[in-house]
Structure 1
């Protein structure tokens, strides 16, 4: 059996595809009001669009009609140039990634079997599937040798959610639908998963439709945000910058809530600001050389890195005066770090509990990149306020 034709060409599938909802309505029998009523919405290729609003506003129903887990009563839905309302629904879903809260992994299947589920349905070559599993595990920062043969019960909630994202990406779909995927994990894990999604998006440029109740999450992740109210009316569809600085009406102002100025920090990533250098030392390195390097740049502490350049802990110059202090350095699990994909709001949160006045920044595979200072955050906030005042509406 040949593989079903995708909604887009192979070249397009390497990135994202435009989604267009045109007059989409969903009516359930016996209900006077439509669950979704005549929604028209264009989602640009390669962008993350957040659907946010109170319970019952139709945001999840709207998203599920894109892959026809819920069949629209009327209207048309395009992915690329194809009207998918005429497609075979099962074939359509095999070319749309789908991530739900709690990952939804099959407990009797290994990690590798969970990830390879859709490629197997598409009759892809076994060796190609195996390579793809390892590639995706690497992509979500999980070691294939350590995780591919484990079962979901052996994983933490955050690890399961990473596997859920890897499974959704297995067939390289142009579109990824995410239904409150990080809602069931603790706040620290949630922040890390958000950062991981942003890092993945930098590499993959998928079109992502993401449903959330959390407006802060919408501001952090979204290129655009659609704010819905009951009756599936889209009250404002705009960039996070415009929604924070120019809310469309009182409903949006109430949804944004207090602290809009502070939320502006969520609009800037750590990678967008200048990082500063800290004094660094290597595990197994020379203590006296590390002390000399730190004093040369006026530092009283060094950040110790392992062989993979991953931050382990801060040590004072007094600590380094003890012979052998760098011989075996265990990781401080309370070390305050953020990633390049983190927002300045994340950095500020970490900084408030940091004891060194800075936050360590890591990149791919948690390698050290530099530090962020509070002065940098304050400068960025002033720039954001000025830019918001001059911003023009999205047409």
Structure 2
């Protein structure tokens, strides 16, 4: 979508899918009382269509207030906010919010509604027909890597925190909005789940190219996810607004240096993505395939384990050569949630973390719709680290 995109989708192209739209904040101020200091003070900021922009800063700096004024959950005192060429401060706020996705910490799902009904809330408000809504529910659950048949009719209490957060993202995407607002969405989950949700967001963004405004207190998360980072001080004063690479290499002042913290050079490793290095191949089999052929293929390249894929090329589990010799070894291969997987958008730090808990010495790499792309080995990561340091790679025995 071009920079002149509007918030409301064009009915003639509603089914085609919507990319991102430019956001412009122009002199935006928020005061809660006429004598109060501004919570947000004269912010001007442009966000390019299809970018993820991270709002980072200390508590009380106004980053969440700034974000909430975009969908008018908080009304600006003055200034203009444009999405595309549409001034949202002149829109009906309820109608506006139906075309802006919103994800909060803890997902915010309605506990009395099923997963499917939670996702369907906005499409029903937009009066989509039942067949279209049902298809969209299943499409989105598949997109966030939840089997529709397994999860569509469950209630939020039956899901883990990470699964609830995935449903929250699916709900925000239900009406295919050009803009997605995310308010510390992964802050309440454990570190491993957090990493997986971050990877999932990057994978979705590679496919959907929404404009995402993401509030976080975690600078490492900002470096990993952001196309640009806005570092804010009190009153939402933008101290530096630039790419992660530029902020790490050239912090604007002592405040930014203090916020980035020690180890800026190490943080450079989070800027190298799995897609930037050459992947390795593993021995591969498919559910329902010929187990004997899979054994021969593994032995031909000196492997003792095979990664089994389903009919959509999604990794299911590792099986040893001995397990493949059992009768009907590939007839029914359920998914092992413990398989260590990273996406092409994951960082090398993420891959290394996953590798440390893997019993296979490699980590499986997936792309769009979680389709298998290859594996990454520790030698590859060490070579990339050596390149960043400008030193020769160390040999791995």
**Normalising TM by the smaller chain, what interval?**
0.7 to 0.9
| Alpha-carbon distance between aligned partners in 1 of 2:310 and 2:85, rounded to the nearest angstrom | 49
1:56 CA drift (Å): 0.5
RMSD of aligned Cα (Å): 2.7
Residue number in structure 1 paired with 2:70: 66
Aligned match for 1:210, one of 214, 224, 231? 214
Residue 371 of structure 1 and its aligned partner are, at CA, apart by 1.3
CA distance in 1 between counterparts of 2:371 and 2:31 reads: 51
1:57 paired residue number:
61
What runs of 5+ residues in structure 1 fail to find an aligned partner?
Answer: 387-395
Deviates more, 1:266-275 or 1:201-210: 266-275
The CA deviation string for residues 51-80 of structure 1, in whole angstroms up to 9 with x for no partner, is 011110100000001111111111111110
Q: Alpha-carbon deviation of 1:221?
A: 0.9
Query: CA shift at 1:198, angstroms?
Result: 1.1
SS in 1 for 2:235: coil
What residue number does 2:277 align with?
A: 273
Q: Distance in 1 between matches of 2:74 and 2:289?
A: 60
Residues 86 and 257 (structure 1 numbering): CA distance in 2 closer, same or farther, change over 3 Å? same
Q: Does 1:80 align with 2:84?
A: yes
Matched residue, 1:260 = 264
Gaps of 5+ in 2: 391-397
Q: Is the 8 A contact 2:308 2:315 kept in 1?
A: yes
Aligned equivalent of 2:131: 127
Structure 2 distance, partners of 1:254, 1:128, is 50
1: CA distance, partners of 2:288 / 2:19: 43
Matching residue of 1:7: 7
Is 1:250 aligned to 2:289, yes or no? no
TM-score (norm 1): 0.87
Query: Structure 2 matches for 1:1-395, cutoff 5 A?
Result: 7-8=7-8, 10=10, 14-29=18-33, 32-281=36-285, 290=294, 292-297=296-301, 299-308=302-311, 309-311=313-315, 313-314=317-318, 319=322, 326=329, 333-364=337-368, 366-383=370-387
Q: CA deviation at 1:144?
A: 2.2
Cα distance in structure 1, aligned partners of 2:207 and 2:340: 26
Confirm or deny: 8 A CA contact 1:263 1:345 kept in the other structure: no
Q: Is the 8 A contact 1:101 1:184 kept in 2?
A: yes
Query: Does the 8 A contact of 1:26 with 1:36 survive in 2?
Result: yes
Cα deviations by residue, 1:64-119 (Å, 9 ceiling, x for unpaired): 01111111111111110111111111111111111111111111112222111112
Distance 2:6 2:288 in 1: 53
1:207-265 deviation line (CA, Å, top 9, x unaligned): 11000111111111111010111221111101111111211122212222222222222
**Contact 1:6/1:95 (8 A) holds in 2:** no
Does the C-alpha gap of structure 1 residues 168 and 282 become closer, same or farther in structure 2, counting only changes over 3 Å? closer
Q: Quick check: 259-268 or 359-368, which moved more?
A: 359-368
> Residue 231 of structure 1 aligns to a residue in which SS?
helix
From the superposition, tell whether residues 117 and 314 of structure 1 become closer, same or farther in structure 2 (CA, over 3 Å): closer
The 8 Å contact of residues 284 and 307 in structure 2, kept in 1 or not, is answered as yes
Q: CA deviation at 1:174?
A: 0.9
Deviation at 1:304, TM superposition (A): 3.6
Q: Structure 1 residues 371, 251: closer, same or farther in 2, change over 3 A?
A: same
Residues 374 and 31 (structure 1), Cα distance of their counterparts in 2 relative to 1, 3 Å cut: farther
* Number of equivalent positions: 380
1:128-153: CA deviation from partner (whole Å, max 9, x where unpaired)? 22222222222222222222222211
- TM-score, normalised to structure 2, is 0.86
CA distance 1:124–1:366, change in 2 (3 Å): closer
State how far apart, in whole Å, the 2-side matches of 1:281 and 1:128 are: 35
